Chain A
């Protein structure tokens, strides 16, 4: 809603400075989106919330300002025009959809010329001039909030029906476009045809123009429920539908038609018929509310007299009944339905800044959400490990996903912003790869980035955590200690798992987007929880990317660590042995270690790999692995003989399981 201050001041007594008015409007909840000084006036643009349909009119806005000012709304009175035009019309309405319909036939005596003040009001509201007949209807709508419609009376019949059509119908509206409407559209019809979509727009078949000599002026109240959404379905919104969807004052129809009568008489000169009326008895809504309830919800002590005065200024009817107030809602406020709505009115007029504040003492104790905690912990760990967090959009390009081979039944958006954001991400990796490309092209040479967030398939969504590692060779410095191999990223992941107190296994696997020899599936017991590896060389080539290492794990499949007891470390000295085995290159170290542990007795504390060798001196199908084993008992010093026994056992076991030979 956009208007000049001078138009608003017609309804307000006393003067008010520009700054004061803007502040008042804002405090009333009528947000001033823009204000602009123009000549001796101020152009104000309000950003109205959808509940305040009544403020799509100057009178409505002025009413609020007056209530806050504690002054009386200045409402000009319009007399009925002399009704001596003998012309007849009958009106029949669907009373559920239309609470009141009033119409008057006006015979225009001359060609009207729109005065400057009307032009100014229309211009402020950004409503273009159409012709003098229509301009007057728009002018009155801006003042009263009542959309009027002028039909060319020669183009319509004697009978006017407000009704829903019996079948789908094609029609041409005033905007020149043809539309097909369903039976849900309330129409204004005569004996033969639809002449307007009620509350939305008139039809071309009854349009007024410069040559129109006699109009049928409609001032009606259509129910919001019968209008709502219908204009939008046709792809537009009209000034009328904007107001009817939010609710037009149920009692302003006659005021508006008389207002119009005066202007048509002034500008055109005219003869007027009687006003043809149909209406349903509208029972104004009432509610009982107590001062105590108001105070209990606002935390206030407001005197009852103040409440009553304030509500009356907003045109509520107030009757005191014992300890309660019986309120009758004003006819222009569709948004007020319950007690809390009344409380809002009181708070709004008093001003929220003037209400008290009180310390909340409530302490509710519910268990913390583990999933949020886990996400935060994961972020902490990776940030501490030197990773930079990124946050990507949750929608990605389906063709990119397909190219990466990540296609796990993605879920498509019906209305994406663009074709490269058409599906919900099934993985965080596309985002990380985009981040890589963006930053690599801008000169970043070292990448340790990660993201935590939801990923989606058609059936479910889960929390994912993914990371990317890449150091460009030219980024290395004199220390030469930075590398970005598979194992460098795995080290970070190992640390993460160890912080979460889990020990998943890395199993060789074939994963579409990863290098088959430099990748692993990450398994927790039998469950796959993610993967890690070097980006597949074929993808590297296609995307012109270097040797990037990536991982992604399903955070939902990991539990937060349980609290363990902390055991006292053994006090007695331990025993260390190194063993070298020759074994097939196919045997993973992790499997070998598992078997060494099995055969090493309960006092075997650790097994580490201190050397792996393949090459000269060893058959191609074999590798040499050297393990360092450490035994320690908790209650006694282990004797060499005991350890020898375990070692012998391990050598036999390894020979049996892996055909491993001890190297001398």
Chain B
């Protein structure tokens, strides 16, 4: 019965569908599902009122707003500027391009704590950037702005690296054709290029957003971690753990997990929809 369900319809050149699917399920189960199940299992030691009380503590509610809000804004900013970076890297040739290209990956490779310490040092009131901003009345370190900057930093490569290959495949002739058919520059970008890039931009956005939600290392150094103001949700989880309250820690983790999953699912659906929309348009 099961073999009938999973049998591929087409005959493939390379065999091994069942084996690889089995492996995939096993692997995902081992690496992803079991740890996640443990989170839910640990939470289930709380009663419903306890669970509800924990996840709606004022400090927790404030931290969800901050974590999701700052992550969303950072990902959004990266969509705009990451697209520009990707565009420059794909469309133009210039001296040192390879180095710029490599720089983009740096936030991937840098241990997040290093990033956090560096950013905090730069933006503190005596730091290189901080001392320029302080006279203007702009405070970055230990404010929500600082969190936003840290999240923007770690999110950048996700957009650039997802958009870059799509841009490379994009034939400049399409733009020329659009132009010769009377489209102005704005229309070429808005009606021709952007629709083609939207799925990749959405993927990049989702990746950067998800990464920012779980970010801990780079944020704690620049955040200040004041409850209700600059405390991100992972810090609350750590605080619960430090008080040996595993159940409460996992309860808040479950909220993060469910919310992130719902958001990622929404973005995936959106992506699927734009993909279909594009193909029908082109057809």
Q: Do A and B bind each other?
A: no
Please give the residue numbers on chain A whose beta carbons come within 8 Å of chain B beta carbons, in ascending order.
none
